[in-house]
Amino acid sequence: MLSTDTDILKTAEGWRREGRGVAIATVVETWGSAPRPVGSHLVIDGDTNFLGSVSGGCVEGAVITEALDVIADGKPRMIEFGVADETAWQVGLSCGGRIRVYVERVD
Amino acid sequence: MRLSLLSDLNKERAARRAAVLVTDVASGDQRLIREAEVDGDLLAEDLGDALRRGKSGLVERNGRQFFLTVQTPPVRVVVIGAVHISQALAPIAMGLDLDVTIIDPRTAFAASERFPEVSVLAEWPDTVLPEIGIDRYTAVAALTHDPKIDDPALIAALRSECFYIGALGSRKTHERRIQRLTEAGFAEADLLRIHAPIGLDIGAVSPAEIAVSILAEIVASLRKDQRRSA
């Protein structure tokens, strides 16, 4: 399925109406050569189904993990990703950019 | 985000109205501001600016940080002519998140079986275009090759604030078109808005290739405008 902006937010609404736990992640700030522009969304449900993107696939895994906590406790979170530190296996952006992502639950 | 707020946001999008979701980053408080409600808001200046540029972003006011999620209406491509190129264009355009409407008064062409999942109107452009409305988030591509059908559409497009106008046909065909539209009262500067021959010059031959060149030109018009105003 294609995931355009229209699909992503409609899907978020649809999933919630079905009774699923849903979180929306939004890119709120970027520095350098970030892969997705400010305002890009990723929606996640409690079973880690997801649609959309906040990067080129580099940090989605970490955002999904964080989203599960947000779905559980309802507290919005701001997470920041920088350049990947390969020796530490840390999640990051290999493009050299930095992004901030806001994750919130749909209530 | 409250579900009702998300639902309102989706409704505004479906109705082709611009809106901004304002999130207080520290508290998580949110509200939806429709374009008509911008004036008088605490963040009026930032909201107006964000809407004009069509860009989401963080702003600061009175020591508080707000994130503005700007939602502009989905970009729509109105295609005049339910022709072979349009059949190739429709699915590619949908993949680009573009709303496609196809208009052709010739009912044999404008058969919905030829265009699954796309709105097809078997009407004359001058009748139906005022009804559907051409706004600044609309591109108009005239593809019938027939001045009887293309010209009224181009006239409606030239009178609107649509961001893109393109017309199929050779340079010679376009010269004659310019002549007719000049006689219809349009100035040279107006007529320069028409991209003709339509599409980026990628040496396109097949209907699908021409569709790609047209859509690439539409995307370029859309994104370059945004970059200039950024």
pLDDT digit string (tens) for B52-110?
Answer: 888 899 999 989 999 999 998 889 999 999 999 999 999 999 989 899 999 999 999 99
Handedness of CA B101, B105, B110, B112 (dihedral sign): positive
Asked if ipTM goes beyond 0.85, one says no
Res A4: pLDDT: 67
Domain count for chain B: 2
Pair (B87, B179) in one structural domain: yes
Peptide bond into B197 cis (omega under 30): yes
> Residue B191: how many CB atoms within 10 A of its CB?
17
User: Does the beta-carbon distance from A102 to B70 stay under 8 Å?
Assistant: no
| Residue B36 per-residue DSSP state | G
pLDDT score of A94 more than 50: yes
Pair (B179, B65) in one structural domain: no
CA distance B138 to B163: 6
Among residues B71, B87, B103, the one where a domain terminates is B71
Pair (B135, B192) in one structural domain: yes
B56, B58, B76, B92, best to mutate vs chain A, most A CBs in 10 Å: B56
Pair (B13, B84) in one structural domain: no
Host H or E run for residue B178: helix B171-183
Pair (B28, B48) in one structural domain: yes
pLDDT score of B31 more than 90: yes
Res A83: pLDDT: 65
CB-CB contact of B113 with B90 (8 Å): no
Res A33: pLDDT: 79
Pair (B131, B177) in one structural domain: yes
pLDDT score of B230 more than 60: no
Pair (B45, B98) in one structural domain: no
Catalogue the E-assigned strands of chain B. 19-24, 30-34, 57-61, 64-71, 76-80, 99-103, 119-121, 138-142, 164-167, 194-195
- The alpha-carbon gap from A50 to the nearest alpha carbon of chain B, in Å, equals 17
Pair (B58, B152) in one structural domain: no
Domain count for chain A: 1
Residues of A in contact with B94 (CB under 8 A): 2
A2, A7, A13, best to mutate vs chain B, most B CBs in 10 Å: A13
User: Does the beta-carbon distance from B69 to A26 stay under 8 Å?
Assistant: yes
Tens of pLDDT, residue by residue over B133-181, are 899 899 999 999 999 999 999 999 999 999 999 999 999 999 999 999 9
- Selecting from A6, A16, A102 the residue whose C-beta is nearest the C-beta of B97 gives A6
- Selecting from B13, B67, B95 the residue whose C-beta is nearest the C-beta of A6 gives B13
Among residues B18, B47, B71, the one where a domain terminates is B71
Q: What are phi and psi of B14, to 5 degrees?
A: -65, -30
Pair (B192, B96) in one structural domain: yes
Share of chain A above pLDDT 90, in %: 62
Share of chain B above pLDDT 70, in %: 97
Pair (B155, B57) in one structural domain: no
- Selecting from B28, B69, B94 the residue whose C-beta is nearest the C-beta of A39 gives B69
Among residues B18, B50, B71, the one where a domain terminates is B71
pLDDT score of A84 more than 90: no
Measure the N-to-C terminal CA separation of chain B; round to a whole number of Å: 28
Pair (B133, B205) in one structural domain: yes
Domain, as residue range, for B48: 3-71
Res B128: pLDDT: 96
Q: Is the pTM of this model over 0.95?
A: no
Average the pLDDT over B27-44 and give the result.
91
Domain, as residue range, for A22: 5-105
Mean pLDDT computed over every residue of chain B: 93
Average the pLDDT over A67-95 and give the result.
79
* Cβ density class A77-103: b for 16+ within 10 Å, e for less: bebebbebeeeeeebbbeeebbbbbbb
Q: What is the 3-state secondary structure (H, E, C) of chain A?
A: CCCCHHHHHHHHHHHHHCCCCEEEEEEEEEECCCCCCCCCEEEEECCCCEEECCCCCCCHHHHHHHHHHHHHHCCCEEEEECECCHHHCCCCECCCCEEEEEEEECC
**For B214, how many CA atoms within 13 A lie in the half-sphere containing its CB?**
32
Pair (B92, B199) in one structural domain: yes
- Would you list which residues of chain B are within 8 Å, Cβ to Cβ, of chain A? 1-3, 6-7, 9-10, 13, 23, 25, 28, 55-58, 67, 69-71, 74, 94-95, 97
- The alpha-carbon gap from B196 to the nearest alpha carbon of chain A, in Å, equals 30
User: Does the beta-carbon distance from B56 to A39 stay under 8 Å?
Assistant: yes
Res B168: pLDDT: 96
